[in-house]
């Protein structure tokens, strides 16, 4: 493997939603410089690496690599003056564990740079042909959250009547459906489930909120899926009715 003359460096790159041509120009240039590429194999197309990484770059897919393996790569970068590209799905600042990654770089005295990327919720809006922040006749906030882990806050967030982009729904679709309705969304209101956007096996499906869990189960969409719900999906801009205290 060819060595670089510069000191070791970590690039934290937003890899976008998965397609190789949705990297930013800056991310593609940084990836082309890397001696070692750490990438989420299950979250992006192989073309991201094949088209942009050096042919002689060492490749570390995760999984099967674990954080201990990735930190070992960082140690090598510090000891041997290597350039490492750490590809993080979507945008590094959205559920990418960026703070812990930066801490790992600082602890090793490594230079680092963060390159933002296109998030899955941006790709979802494009696929659905909607404006996430403007409903017909009004403007409503956009809420970004996740469903995995403790389900704290979904019901309270739903009370605002905002458009919500809910990442990583996993196996929580039944609970998510209940919390959205309890928070004030009408059971018959539309929602969208987007799965593996911009990659092989892409699915974009709309349904009623009270059909959310059944649709996820029937289409096996419990992995790598994002749910969009709220006024941005409704062409008629129905009135939101929050629950009474």
Residue with tokens 């409704």: 234
Per-residue pLDDT at 135? 59
Q: Give the Cα separation of 150 and 106 in Å (integer).
A: 30
Contact between 242 and 161 (Cβ < 8 Å): yes
Q: Which domains occur in the chain, in start order?
A: 9-115 (3.40.1010.10), 120-233 (3.30.950.10)
Q: Give the Cα separation of 2 and 47 in Å (integer).
A: 22
Per-residue pLDDT at 4? 40
Segment 41-73, tens digit of pLDDT: 778 888 889 999 999 999 999 889 999 999 999
Q: Please give the C-alpha separations between residue 244 and each of 45, 114, 164, 182, in angstroms, as whole numbers.
A: 46, 44, 21, 11
Angle at 234 between CA 177 and CA 227, to 5 degrees: 35
Segment 99-129, tens digit of pLDDT: 999 999 999 999 999 999 999 999 999 999 9
Per-residue pLDDT at 139? 65
Q: Which residues of the chain have pLDDT under 50?
A: 1-6, 151, 237-245
Of the candidates 61, 67, 116, 59, which has an alpha carbon nearest to the alpha carbon of residue 93? 116
């Amino acid at each position: 493997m060819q060595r670089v003359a510069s000191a070791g460096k970590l690039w934290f790159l937003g890899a976008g939603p998965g397609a190789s041509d949705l990297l930013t120009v800056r991310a593609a240039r940084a990836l082309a410089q890397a001696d070692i590429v750490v990438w989420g194999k299950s979250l992006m197309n192989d073309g991201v690496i094949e088209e942009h990484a050096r042919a002689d770059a060492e490749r570390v897919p995760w999984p099967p690599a674990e954080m201990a393996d990735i930190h070992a790569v960082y140690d090598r970068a510090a000891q041997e003056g290597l350039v490492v590209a750490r590809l993080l799905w979507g945008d590094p600042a959205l559920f990418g564990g960026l703070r812990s990654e930066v801490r790992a770089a600082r602890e090793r005295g490594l230079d680092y740079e963060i390159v933002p990327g296109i998030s899955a919720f941006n790709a979802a809006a494009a696929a659905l042909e909607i404006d996430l922040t403007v409903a017909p006749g009004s403007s409503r906030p956009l809420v970004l959250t996740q469903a995995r882990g403790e389900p704290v806050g979904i019901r309270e967030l739903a009370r605002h009547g905002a458009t919500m982009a809910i990442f990583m729904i996993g196996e929580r679709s039944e609970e998510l459906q209940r919390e959205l309705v309890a928070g004030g969304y009408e059971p018959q209101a539309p929602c969208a489930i987007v799965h593996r956007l911009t990659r092989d096996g892409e699915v974009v499906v709309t349904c009623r909120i009270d059909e959310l869990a059944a649709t996820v189960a029937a289409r096996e969409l419990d992995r790598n899926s994002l749910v969009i719900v709220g006024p941005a999906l409704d062409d008629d801009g129905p009135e939101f009715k929050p629950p009474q205290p």
